[in-house]
Amino acid sequence: MEKLVDIVGKEVYEGLSEETKKKYGEKELIINDGTYIPKAKFDSLNETKKDLENQLKETNEKVQELSKVNSDELQTKLNELQEKYDKDLKEANDKYENREYEIKLKDYIRNEKFSSKSSQKAYFEELLDKKLEFDDEGNLKGYDDYKKSYQESDPDAFLKEKSNDGMYASTGENHDGKSADDDAYINQIMGIK
């Protein structure tokens, strides 16, 4: 550091005003050779530097965390999640298709005359297990053969045509809405077979 007199020389110094001499005369001066930065700018740059250092530190920590992750483990977990998703999606689609098939099947046999609700339920469940397919026109392939076979194995499941005396040959509902069991009981009491 130099004094003003040393920088400008004795002759120039003597030509300066007394006020300038008082202000700078005896002080040691720092000469700006292009490396001097004003304090406000220095503080701003210093804050920016600190922010960048903090960001770099956080980034390095994240990189270190990521480097600890085993890529094979991560891929395995991703594969497991994909398999679970695919399985769940298939199950949901299967449930939907099964429910849609059940509704269509119930509608298909809606006009069949069963002797009882339990007969109807048993018939439906067995038919459902057969998984017969519907054709393009909405007909159930193989249904006539299935029905014929079922009627042979359980002839009382369906209502039979009325006999000449107005009685049903099997249980179920008769013409007046009473169950055929009621008619059978009445027939038994009256001695009618």
* Domain-ending residue, one of 15, 49, 68: 68
Query: What is the arithmetic mean of pLDDT over 35-60?
Result: 81
Q: Which residues pair with 29 in a beta bridge?
A: 2
Predicted confidence band of residue 163 (pLDDT cuts 50, 70, 90) = low
Asked, for residue 117, whether it belongs to a domain, the answer is: no
Q: Tell me, what's the pLDDT at 45?
A: 81
Q: Domain boundary at 38, 68, 98, which?
A: 68
Global confidence as pTM: 0.43
For 127-149, how does the pLDDT look when each residue is reduced to its tens digit (9 = 90+)? 888 888 888 888 889 888 988 98
Choose between 43 and 180: higher pLDDT: 43
The Cα–Cα gap between 179 and 124 comes to 20
Q: Does the pLDDT at position 182 exceed 80? A: no
d(CA 140, CA 161): 24
**Domain limits at 193?**
160-193
Confirm whether 94 is domain-assigned.
Answer: no
Residue 21 has pLDDT above 80, yes or no: no
Any idea what the Cα angle at residue 38 is, between residues 33 and 44, rounded to 5°?
130
Number of domains in the chain: 2
Q: What percent of the chain clears pLDDT 90, i.e. is strictly above it?
A: 8
Q: Is residue 32 part of a domain?
A: yes
Q: Once rounded to an integer, what is the mean pLDDT over residues 70-76? A: 83
Q: Determine contact, residues 37/57, Cβ cutoff 8 Å.
A: no
Q: Which residue has the tokens 């469940």?
A: 125
pLDDT at 140: 86
User: Does residue 112 belong to any structural domain of this protein?
Assistant: no
Contacts of 8 (CB under 8 A, 6+ apart): 16
Q: How far apart are CA 50 and CA 164, in angstroms?
A: 107
List strand residue ranges (DSSP E) for the chain, in order: 2-3, 28-29
Residues 6+ apart with CB under 8 A from 86: none
* Helices (H), ranges, 109-164: 117-130, 143-153
Among the candidates 68, 95, 122, a domain finishes at 68
